[in-house]
Structure 1
Amino acid sequence: MQEGDRMVSTRPRDGKADPRAVRSADALLVRVTRASAGRTAAILLCAAAAAAASLALPAVLGLTLDLLLEGRPGAGRALAATVALTAAEVALGATVALLAGTVGARSTAWLRLRAIRRLLAAPPRSVSRFSPGDVATRLSVHATEAGAAPAAAAQVITAVLAPAGALVALFVIDPWIGLAFLLGLPALGLLLRSFARDSSDTVSRYQRVQSLLATRLTDALGGARAIAAAGTADEERARVLRPLGELGTEGRRMWSVHGSAMARSGVLMPLLITAVLAVGGFGLAEGRISVGDLLAVSRYAALAAGLGAVAGPLGALIRGRTAARRVNELVTVPPLTHGRRELPLGGTGTLELRGVGVALDGVWVLRGVDLCVPGGQTVAVVGRSGSGKSTLGAVAGRLTAPDEGEVRLDGVPLEAVAADVLRREVGYAFERPSLRGATVADAIASGVQTPSAERVRAAARAAGADDFVRALPRGYATALEEAPLSGGELQRLGLARAFAHAGRLMILDDATSSLDTATERQVDRALAREVRPGTRIVMAHRLSTAARADQVVWLEGGRVRAVRTHAELWRDPEYRAVFDCGDARGERVDR
């Protein structure tokens, strides 16, 4: 599997589903069913009523035929009852189909909403194990299949009613006829069992390959420029499409299982019906049953043979249960917890990390970090790639929780602070900001609180964004999707948003990587003079950023090696090596 093909399998290596994952997914389906309990119950009732109508129809039809043949009175009423039962069966079947579609749509929406809420509430490191393509597949295809499971379960239950009732009716009409059909049921049971087992396995493999294909496609789209620049489009296309062969194999195998079951039932059911009619014919010849009874037997035999039709809703239920395991992995991602406390009034943003450690996939990215940043200071965090800079920034503002240790802001543990307070007082700017809003002004103003138009413009000026925003067709009122933004302009808008919401702590994680040196210096001056007082943590990749900071935190291997001024650290050749021999031009040297 290529790098970036991040998949989370719901099956261990022995090929069998994890029992705990199955139980958890089944519990999720129970909750989904409860969310549409009224409509699901209506499916059961309507389907049961339709089964009752289909069971009554052969008896009434046989009675009608006997009355007509014998010239007895009541044939008209029996015929009217036959028409009414037929109409009821058709109407109830249509109602079941409508309700099943409604329940499926509501259940799918319920699953998607909860999965999205949980993903947004989870720390980034918990979500990072799912690739964007995998998430998209689980939220689209797999959520739809899982959403169809409640209606399918109701239809499986009711699909047994008519065949079971028909078998009872065969015994009532003539025990020998019922026994003839009963002898064929073990073969039908084995057929359904084999279908359920094989279908579950093939569906699981098919869904896994679906996610793999989506993952590779989204990775390729995200790196389209790099692929074009390297001239490797053909190789990348081949890599993306390579799982198509396996997808086709698994798809054919899945539908082969379904088709095989249908074909075998298509042979078994006519044989059973033929055997039943043969026994019924002997019964008619011997005078045990009438012509009307034989007509009813033919209808009941067809209904009883309909037990094989349960494979349709049973297949949908199996696909739904298998898909639910994949959706459930999104729904059960552990959320980032918050408390209810406020931060003290007048706090300056003093940040403390006490024995902080963060592990990713069993590897410690940060370990034993002790750090105290006085309020109002600008601190640059430097280190080689992989030293833990971004992880330090994430735990400092509680985008993720440490696995050990504690982080405090103005003396209050971050885990105890209310989420809205935290997001109001801790601002972030990233290398690739994700902007939201109808207009450019809305994108800068988006946040827990909405700043005034004056503050939005002041923040844009501080971030060096005001000039290019004013040059847009409608200035700050330009629709965001219509604004042609370069990488540097996008970063400046992200910085402007952070400045507009500046609280007592601001964390800039590689947020100036696409800016030219002059603009970066303008941003540095704004941080020192124009943005409201508070503590500023900057993940520094440029020498100039570290040089202008009040203090430098030097990370190495996930641990704090030193906390001093840049001038003091510069005497250490290993510190200079972090900046590739100290490029005094301030160019970015560490990605």
Structure 2
Amino acid sequence: MAAFGTIARRGGGWLPVIGVTALVGTATTLALPTVLGHAVDAIVAGTGSERWLAWTAGLIALSVAVNLVDVYTGAICVADVTAWLRERLVRKILAVGHRGATRFDTGDLVSRVTGNAADAAQAGPSLVTVGTALVPPVGSLVLLALIDLWIAVAFLAGLALVALVLTAFTRRTSDVIGRYQQVQGRLATRLTESLAGARTIAAAGTTDLEERRILAPLPELHEHGSMTWRVLSRSGGQAALVGPLVQVVVLGTGGLALVAGRISAGELFAAGQYAAIGAGLGGLTGVLNRLARARAGVRRIGEVLAEPGMDYGRSAVPDGPGTVELRGVTVCLGDTRVLDDVHLTLPGGTEVALVGPTGAGKSVLAAVIARLMDPDAGVVTLDGVPLPELHHDALRAAVGVAFERPVLLGDTVGEAISAGRDAIGVDTVAVLGVATATRAHDFVSRLPDGYRTTLVDAPMSGGEAQRLGLARAWPARRLLVLDDATSSLDMVTEMQISRALSEHHGDRTRLVVTHRAAVAARADLVVWLVEGRVRAVGPHRRLWDDPAYRAVFQ
């Protein structure tokens, strides 16, 4: 799996340290039985035991030090890779555009960014640990062969049983953990949806029903979790049988060798220790479990990272009035063709109203024009340049978008307006100017700390939030797209903003998605969209003669 290898290599310089500490720790573990065996023989002989006991204490101290370094470097490595993965995921989610982001539920994405990224970050350390985990049984086999060849043969036969247990454990664990993570994502999605609609749920009196809907995946989650523990317990039970069985076989063979005089009592003691080290399944199952979780996490992260991003060119926005042209634009969402071969020109410097019945594709058309998503076919140009050829920063400075339900970002009201563009402060002339034009200043000035009021301390109506969203989009230099962004405003405020759009538009093109006849009447041109196709383009007063057009506003 290419993605697994890429994430594993991200551990960089920490991985060799983890590998070295693992090998040194394994070496001390393998050396300790031999040293203890010599200590036993020395004690039996009654001479020189102090030297071997000193070696034993030294090996134990080295083992403790190496384990501390291993734990520290492992934690640092996983933390670094987790942070890197989360940054990549967030950047990818923001870069795939509207279409790519909607392929995943919000809660599921949160689950992937938080939990699955941490699991995937274990890829490098897990691979290193799995590689070094082969050293104890191989080393034990070699050292047993040095003690007595027949003891090594007995141990090798037992290792076959160990391999069977580990193979079955790995296969079952990887599958179960993958399903468990999928259900976690569904549960997170439902919880996120409910938190976003908490007021609606409370007002509808459906709290109990919503609680049952959120918790509905819990039995499935419990089942997969129980299966995981059953796999672990089954492997633990098998280890409880296989490990001691290998030891009994080794000790029995060693006992015969001791009686025959081929080995000493200390060597028999060492043989028993090597049998325990080489056949120990507890550590190996833990390592393989982490590896399985890492593989499952990498798979879920890879699904997001595989989404094609929106590529940008290097061109600047050319001089021009802001003319937008769509040629053969088609957009499909799933199996539904939302826009069908749309040909349309928005004259530069004009105000264009986009109207149509619900489901006509207005918001999708607005998103394509603002390049929040790319069409499946066709091309969109701004003053003659295809949008994908424009540099990202140039495009976003030229095109602004305001939405019906704006998401306000930042800590304060001023930051929500500046959207990170204002490096000086949140109450500069630029922020005040756009806030005044969109009538946001009227209510912001009454807040306790004005533009420095934190968003959590600034309860706002839907219309006030829309005004902040408008203010954030207002600095666009060439094209301003308002996707039903004035629907929650009172009539007086909407008229004031419409007047600002007409009188202080700065020669920008304005595309206004609307359901109101008054807004369409004030526009220079109306685009009438029906079932993803342009039904007609013209002044509101001319289209008004068509009863079907009038029905759009009823």
* TM-score range relative to shorter protein: over 0.9
Task: Say if 1:441 and 1:456, in contact at 8 Å, map to a contact too.
Answer: yes
User: Alpha-carbon deviation of 1:267?
Assistant: 1.5
- Structure-2 residue corresponding to 1:21: none
State the Cα distance separating 1:192 from its structure 2 match. 1.0
**Aligned residue type for 2:476:** A
Aligned counterpart for 1:426 among listed residues 387, 392, 399:
399
* Residue pairs, 1:355-434, within 5 angstroms: 355-434=328-407
Task: Tell me the residue number matched to 1:38.
Answer: 13
Aligned counterpart, 1:456: 431
Alpha-carbon separation, structure 1, partners of 2:541 and 2:44: 112
- Determine which of 287, 293, 306 is the counterpart of 1:319: 293
1:435 corresponding residue in structure 2: 408
Equivalent residue, structure 2, for 1:167: 141
Matches within 5 A, 1:27-426: 27-72=2-47, 74-307=48-281, 309-345=283-319, 347-426=320-399
Deviation string, structure 1 residues 213-253 (Cα, Å, up to 9, x no partner): 11111112222222222222111111111111111111011
Deviation at 1:135, TM superposition (A): 0.5
Over aligned residue pairs, what C-alpha RMSD do you find? 1.6
Q: Distance in 1 between matches of 2:105 and 2:438?
A: 32
Deviations for 1:350-397, whole angstroms, at most 9, x for unmatched residues? 111111111111322112111111111000000111111111111112
CA contact (8 A) 1:32 1:110 kept: no
1:543 alignment counterpart:
517
> Which stretch of the first structure deviates more once superposed, 229-238 or 379-388?
229-238
Cα distance between partner residues in 1 of 2:412 and 2:77: 37
Offset at residue 477 of structure 1 (A): 2.2
How do residues 473-488 of structure 1 correspond to structure 2 at under 5 angstroms?
Answer: 473-488=448-463
State the alpha-carbon separation in 1 of the partners of residues 488 and 216 from structure 2. 35
Paired residue type of 1:418: H
Compute the TM-score of the two structures, normalised by the length of structure 1: 0.91
Change (3 A) 1:404 1:449: farther
Unmatched runs of 5 consecutive residues or more in structure 2? none
Are 1:425 and 1:502, in contact at CA under 8 Å, matched by a contact in 2? yes
Q: Which residue of 2 aligns with 1:445?
A: 418
State the one-letter code of the partner of 2:433. Answer: A
Q: Give the C-alpha shift of residue 307 in structure 1.
A: 4.8
1:579: how far off? 1.2
Secondary structure (helix, strand or coil) at the match of 2:13 reads helix
Q: 2:478 aligned with 1:490, yes or no?
A: no
Between the aligned partners of 1:299 and 1:188, the Cα distance in structure 2 is 17
Q: For the Cα contact (< 8 Å) 1:424–1:449, is it kept in 2? A: no
Residue-pair matches, total: 552
CA-CA distance at 1:156 after TM superposition: 1.4
What one-letter code is carried by the residue in structure 2 that aligns with 1:555?
A: L
Report if aligned partners of 2:315, 2:389 keep a CA contact under 8 Å in 1: yes
Secondary structure of 2:492's counterpart equals helix
Q: Give the TM-score of the pair, scaled to structure 2.
A: 0.97
- Work out the CA distance in 2 between the residues paired with 1:201 and 1:343: 50
| Contact 2:9-2:124 within 8 A present in 1 as well | no
